[in-house]
Structure 1
Amino acid sequence: MQLEHVSRLARPFPPASAALDQLCRELDAAFAAAEAGSNASFGQRVRLALQRAIADPGVLRPDQRVSNPQNYCRHLLAADPLNRYAIAALVWAPGQASPVHGHQTWCGYAVIEGTLEETLYRWDTDEHRAIETRRHPRPPGAVSYVDAGRGAIHRLGLSADAAARAVSLHVYGVAGEQIATHVNDLLAA
């Protein structure tokens, strides 16, 4: 009964669309299922919830798709009142990319608009740096989930010759106020 109450609590950043509200409810259910020992993995539930959220063209308002000419822009969309997750839209202008990083927490993302390029790395313990292993495009509809740690090091960005921005929806296992400080584990490449 208590878990049912959690999903009805007011959120510090109330979701601005029905799709984001549904995403929050599905994330709450994923936590409840994990606590109950469900056979379905938490990561699978997050991926499915993200897929459903981005299928709604109204998932983001126009002001949540605004970019920044200096760096990719992060719009905080919702924060769990129990500090289990935060949801953000990242908006990428041509030529913008994240630094090479692993994650200090679990993370899931889905591409809404544009085609991002993801570069994957492996951690070399002898050289104490990330070594590039491959690159691949992440078109609209692409969804990814990773657990915390250096087993999933990557760099995400938009090619400098892209014709338009890209937009992605991200869910991180941190409190809303920690989204800029407790997600990425920045690494040398």
Structure 2
Amino acid sequence: RQPLRVVVDSNASAVRPGARVLDGSAPTLVAVAEDADAAHLEGLVPVVRLPRAPGGRGLSIPMLLRTLYEREVRSVLLEGGATLAGAFVAARSVDQVVGYLAPALLGAGPAVLADAGIGTITDALRLDVTGVDRLGPDLRITAVPGGPAPAAAPAPAPATSAVPASEEN
């Protein structure tokens, strides 16, 4: 069975006529907000209209998943950017995370998650690692939500010098 490509385009502004995602190479569905002007997509691709998420940003993730389920979609591979990933995490609609770790340090870059409703380490979505695979020099880490919250850290010991006595000036 051919996977269904789903484009989440809240404002119906990212997918324009002639876009590669409309090339017919795979079944495609575009999800837009109920109040979005999607007239330019009519006749080009199936469009589903959904309510906006609370706060008006993005689409209701539970409604998106319900709509996909009604279309017999039973598994979703999320390949969106930080905003969509953050929306799925905020909606607690993630059941597996696959991440890649390369042995390289960068000074800056895009965030993995945008506003996911996680403001503190206490609020973090804890994960249980279920697999680690080496891919050349990189690692693929697979995890599922549900890891325990961190235990309370013991009170720190009084500050002491980190320099051994023999190295002091």
- TM-score, structure 1 length as denominator? 0.25
Structure with larger RCO (C-alpha < 8 A, sep 6+): 1
Q: Which has the higher strand share?
A: 1
- TM-score, structure 2 length as denominator? 0.27
Q: Which has the higher helix share?
A: 1
Which structure has the greater CA radius of gyration?
Answer: 2
